[in-house]
């Protein structure tokens, strides 16, 4: 089987299930063209017109894809109103991905009047078809009481369904629930297990939480080296809290060699992302040479953590 055909089939399967290993734009382009029978090498406005004809004939998969076309501005000007229209056409026919995406539009008020209740309505439709990201969002709605009556136990139930499918955000959410004892009995070790599952999939908040567990010794033996390793993973994704934590580690030599230049870079980048680190930066500056300060100002996160 030619590579492009094989890749297209993989992308199409991921596109239809809503669980993608690819970026959303790449996925939509490849899968949409494969579904429509058009060439992967010929994405164009003409292809959008051809897709419109298929969609108007009731092809639910193409209707779903057209929702993505207009939601993301693929070969057309972004138009959330048209995105909502085509998602709704597919959602009414039971397409879980379209139901989930329509819920997102209602949650944001993008192309439709903002409505948390309608967001929850469509996420439930998709969640009942076992779509993991919809199950996670429905769980979060129950947890926050946004668009539905607050219920921690139902939140846990939906998060568990998504987490068991390997959905990292739901795994992280379960970790926070077990850490705080909300909807479940407080259990730091179980929280750590869920954090680890999500962290290993690249969830930055879980990586930070796992690092903090090692730093504080909560649910696991204290290990500053492991803490710094997980802070590093989250910092590489730009998480402000992880940047601050790693800056602290470099300041005091906790799990990493003491390095004021690296510390300055981390605290500066945390500040650039909204955290107040000015007092710490001032204190570091007083202890650093002018050369070290100049060096730090010229470096990026990646330069330190490569």
Written as one string, the DSSP assignment of 15-79 is HHHT--SS-HHHHHHHHHHHHHT--GGG-SHHHHHHHHHHHHTT-HHHHHHHHHHHHHTSSS---
Grouping H, G, I as helix, E, B as strand and the rest as coil, residue 87 is helix
User: Does position 204 have pLDDT exceeding 80, yes or no?
Assistant: yes
- Segments forming the whole domain that contains residue 134: 94-165
Which two structure tokens, joined as six digits, stand for 213? 């567990």
CATH code (residue 102): 1.25.40.10
Asked whether residue 45 is domain-assigned, the answer is yes
Asked whether residue 281 is domain-assigned, the answer is no
Asked whether residue 229 is domain-assigned, the answer is no
Which two structure tokens, joined as six digits, stand for 196? 């680890």
> For tokens 């629930």, what's the residue?
177
Q: Hey, what's the torsion of the CAs at 223, 228, 233, 237, to 10 degrees?
A: 140
Q: Structurally, how many domains does the chain consist of? A: 2
Grouping H, G, I as helix, E, B as strand and the rest as coil, residue 155 is helix
Same structural domain, 19 and 78: yes
Question: Span 103-132, mean pLDDT?
Answer: 98
Distance of CA 173 to the CA centre of its chain: 12
Grouping H, G, I as helix, E, B as strand and the rest as coil, residue 2 is coil
Asked whether residue 235 is domain-assigned, the answer is no
- The reported pLDDT for the residue numbered 47 is 82
Element (H, E) at 141: helix 132-144
Residue 279: count other Cβ atoms within 10 Å of its Cβ: 9
Asked whether residue 248 is domain-assigned, the answer is no
**Which of 10, 8, 17, 14 has its CA nearest to residue 36?**
8
User: Does position 74 have pLDDT exceeding 80, yes or no?
Assistant: yes
User: Does position 22 have pLDDT exceeding 80, yes or no?
Assistant: no
Same structural domain, 154 and 133: yes
Asked whether residue 49 is domain-assigned, the answer is yes
Which two structure tokens, joined as six digits, stand for 65? 């894809």
**164-175 pLDDT, tens digit each:** 999 999 999 999
- The reported pLDDT for the residue numbered 205 is 98
Grouping H, G, I as helix, E, B as strand and the rest as coil, residue 179 is helix
Residues in the chain: 306
Last residue of a domain, one of 83, 116, 137: 83
Asked whether residue 306 is domain-assigned, the answer is no
Output the pTM of the full model.
Answer: 0.84
Detail the DSSP E strand segments found in the chain.
none
The C-alpha angle with vertex 222 and arms to 218 and 225, in degrees rounded to 5, equals: 125
Which two structure tokens, joined as six digits, stand for 223? 């290990």
Q: What are phi and psi of 24, to 5 degrees?
A: -60, -40
Asked whether residue 155 is domain-assigned, the answer is yes
**30-46 pLDDT, tens digit each:** 455 444 444 333 345 66
**Which of 126, 192, 186, 187 has its CA nearest to residue 158?**
126
Same structural domain, 78 and 102: no
**236-267 pLDDT, tens digit each:** 999 999 999 999 999 999 999 999 999 999 99
- The reported pLDDT for the residue numbered 306 is 87
Last residue of a domain, one of 51, 83, 115: 83
User: Does position 12 have pLDDT exceeding 90, yes or no?
Assistant: no
**273-301 pLDDT, tens digit each:** 999 999 999 999 999 999 999 999 999 99
Task: Give the span between the Cα atoms of 175 and 200, in whole angstroms.
Answer: 13
203-219 in b/e form (b: 16+ CB < 10 A) is bbbbbbbbbbbbbeeeb
**174-194 pLDDT, tens digit each:** 999 999 999 999 999 999 999
Task: Give the span between the Cα atoms of 146 and 107, in whole angstroms.
Answer: 10
- The reported pLDDT for the residue numbered 31 is 53
Contacts within 8 Å (CB) and 24+ apart, 34-39: 34/8, 34/9, 35/61, 35/62, 35/65, 36/62, 36/65
Same structural domain, 25 and 70: yes
Last residue of a domain, one of 165, 184, 210: 165
């Amino acid at each position: 089987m030619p590579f492009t055909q094989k890749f297209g089939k993989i992308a199409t399967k991921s596109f239809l299930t809503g669980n993608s290993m690819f970026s959303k734009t790449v996925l939509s382009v490849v899968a949409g063209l494969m579904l429509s029978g058009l060439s992967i090498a010929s994405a164009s406005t003409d292809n959008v017109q051809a897709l419109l004809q298929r969609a108007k004939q009731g092809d639910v998969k193409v209707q779903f894809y057209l929702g993505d076309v207009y939601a993301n501005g693929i070969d057309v000007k972004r138009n959330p109103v048209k995105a909502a229209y085509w998602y709704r056409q597919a959602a009414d026919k039971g397409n879980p991905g379209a139901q989930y995406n329509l819920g997102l539009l209602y949650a944001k008020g993008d192309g439709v009047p903002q409505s948390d209740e309608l967001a929850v309505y469509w996420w439930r439709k998709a969640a009942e078809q076992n779509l993991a990201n919809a199950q996670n969002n429905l769980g979060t709605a129950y947890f926050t009481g946004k668009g539905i009556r607050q219920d921690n136990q139902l939140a846990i139930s939906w998060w568990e369904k998504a987490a068991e499918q390997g959905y990292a955000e739901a795994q992280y959410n379960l970790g926070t629930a077990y850490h705080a004892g909300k909807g479940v009995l407080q259990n730091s070790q179980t929280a750590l297990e869920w954090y680890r599952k999500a962290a290993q999939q690249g969830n930055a908040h879980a990586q930070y939480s796992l690092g903090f567990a090692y730093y504080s010794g909560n649910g696991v033996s204290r290990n500053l080296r492991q803490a710094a390793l997980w802070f590093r993973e989250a910092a590489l994704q730009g998480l402000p809290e992880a940047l601050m934590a790693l800056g602290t580690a470099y300041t005091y030599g906790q799990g990493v060699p003491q390095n004021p230049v690296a510390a300055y870079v981390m605290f500066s980048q945390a500040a650039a992302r909204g955290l107040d680190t000015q007092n710490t930066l001032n204190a570091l500056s007083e202890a650093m040479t002018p050369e070290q300060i100049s060096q730090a100002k010229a470096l990026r996160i990646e330069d330190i953590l490569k």
